[in-house]
Structure 1
Amino acid sequence: MTGRMVEAVDSLLNKMEVGHDGNRKEGGCSVAAKTHPDAKMHAVSWMGSHNMQVKEVPRPMVTDPADVLLRVTNTAICGSDLHLYVHGMPSMKSGDVLGHEFMGVVEEVGDAVTKVKRGDRVLVAFDIACGHCFFCNHGYQSSCDSTNPSKISEAMYGQAMGGVFGYSHLAGGYQGGQADYVRVPFGDVNCLKVPDGLADHDALFLTDILPTAWHANEMGEVHEGDVVAIWGAGPVGILAAHCAQHRGARRVIMIDSVQDRLDFVKRKLPGVETLNFKEKETVSALREMTANEPGRGPDVVIEAAGFHYSKSWLHAIEMKLQLETDTADMLNEMITAVRKGGRISIVGVYIGFVNHLNIGAFMEKQLTMRGGQTPVQRYWPTLLPKVQAGELVPSMVITHVLPLEQAPKGYKIFNEKSDGCIKVVLQPGATEAVTLPPAGRT
């Protein structure tokens, strides 16, 4: 970490137990849920780097009047969960329950909840929004001003970001949804009823990765005729390519180093071109692939990989020595490869500072760069009808459906990219793995 981050994190952790003391911001909600005096549940708990365990923990209860208590039926491992699995995060604590992509059946509601009721099948946005602050009212629910009491987030970023389920105390310290039950604050805002006839596996990714993929396209202003290059053939990158094709992109180029993943993309999304950067240097290969395009480069580049994928020895050393928290390797490739006047969209997770960013090329090429966590709730009215109509098929990325008890295996194969793993869904209460029918495109 840089000195600024070390100072901010160390001083605050020495003063407070962020997220475990029930602290809350004005207009917000309780962070720590009340727990049932007798009932227990199983939950996926972070016990340290590469150490996920399924533990028996107290079952949460409705704590605030706007809460929903959800019995979880499906919960996915997100690519951003792997950042916690491998590296941890400032303020991570042993026993933290992870998971922010989940859906289930409403078990109980608080007195102030009016839009959902016991027995409803709902999906839950990963970003915890209050629904009434300035940012929520302007469609930036992931920047909610009321749901993250973390002073660390405020110290690092100047303002605290919105709360996130199961994503460290930097994001509020909320218990995650890789569990039998989860408490959902502001249930009317953060729960969406699943229409009858829409299967769970088709609805599940409206919680995060489909809105994130759509957000990547929105920030990049992808429209008909564009050439789009995407770094990272994980679930978000694949769905970003899917969305780009849906929006009329003329060419979509997927960049990764794992050939199995690139082959998966070509099977699922005919027409997508692929580039393996272990075989060809990324920027020169993109220049060759787009040499006959009017702008001699992609119109839009999307980063869907994240902060810890360093390619150069310099960034690897600096991250090891904590001289930077994130690497600029892929950002510099994008700045160099995109056409002049092009657009850069960042949805891969970055947490702090990078060194050696080519800001000169960014300025001289007249580029636009945008990034951010997707405001899931903003996109539900757009995306739900597209999923219902089969225009978007987010379940195409699912490769493994496992019982919750096999979460450690799920994390391991997802992180190692082994066994053909692209996306893992965990099912509380299940006793064996499930094979889904082919999703949409095969």
Structure 2
Amino acid sequence: MRRTGELFTVFGRIGLLSFGGPAAQIALMHKELVEDRNWLTESQFLRALSFCMLLPGPEAMQLATYAGWRRQGNIGGLIAGCLFFVPGAIVILGLALAYGAYADLSVVQAAFAGIKATVVVIVINALRKVASKALKTNASYGIAVFSFVALFVLDLPYPLVIFLAALAGIWLPKVETIAVSEPAPYHPTHFFKVLGIGSLLWAAPVVVAWLLGASFLVDVGLYFSKLAVVTFGGAYAVLAYMTQTVVGDFGWLTTGEMIDALGLAETTPGPLILVTQFVAMLAGLSQGGIGTALLAGLLTLWVTFVPCFIWIFAGAPLIDWLEGQAKLQAALSGITAAVVGVIANLSLWFAMHVFFQNVVQAEVGPLRISSPDFVTVQWAVVALALLAGALILWRGFGIVSTLAITAGTALILSLVGML
């Protein structure tokens, strides 16, 4: 019971504070699980993160599920995974209904500007800590730099970058000092058992909607189920595809509504893929009112997050098994080094979008370089980030108190017309 209570406390806190996308969420979990509580060693954390980045879906939520599973089996995984996204889902539910009624939540967005400014500081500090632990050799530094350039400058597909990093981990000497241990037992029957039971649970509500003749809900369930298995590299990787299909093919939302959906999802705790819940609820409001919106939102949450539990419960034992496989562990070491570059890319992308109103993508030959429009710098947000940096790094304030101060300051600045 004590362990269960600790899980609710720790992952409830993580779920409530997980603003800012995967980079910030990974940083928060590193602090809570590795630095503060020793629930995972540095090696276990990085190995698990590398594994989760190979899976479709939100890697931070899967990492939380793995940490809970390691702490208390499947029950622990369910508690940790649910607490990671449920707070954000509750916020999204309220925002979607309010948006459908008023379509103007500028005050909420202003308050969250302070939160996002604080998150920039948290991310940069955590990136420094993770890099110092994960990058031990010249080869690991090279892989990290390559992954950053490949994503930020070359705009290469995320799965390709991870695949090349795995190959580099095998071919390059001394990416990481590898101590091969006796392999932990892994039984393939466990994998197929979890996959089979999980798939039946995953499909059940869509089948029920089909039997009831609820064609809109069937479309929602099938579409977001497909999206759940192609979201490699996080939510940003599929936003363009989702916008095209939701706006162009289904006609559920307008382009402006999709932009608002992303903006509001970015201001809430939890994984950014919760934008799917917001989209489904807005579509449900237009199709049949509040009842349909609530059903569409719940169905979308189900088909989006159940696969995450399936991947972890089926594959988590593989992480321990990999430690006894020299070649596979070398590949995973390459991926671990690449993860630093991935987080750096996400961090820079996030910082640019927080500090500047407009970010443009310029094509220079084969290169596609994102850069901010410096004329649109938001000096008030920069000042909020400096305030957060002073509170956290200089005065030693905690995350919760800093978030409260910066959110309150941002709201005051907005009310007096300075934000």
**Same fold? TM cut 0.5:** no
**What TM-score results when the alignment is normalised by the length of structure 2?**
0.29
Which is bigger in relative contact order (C-alpha 8 A, separation at least 6)? 2
Identify, as 1 or 2, the structure richer in strand.
1
**What TM-score results when the alignment is normalised by the length of structure 1?**
0.28
Identify, as 1 or 2, the structure richer in helix.
2
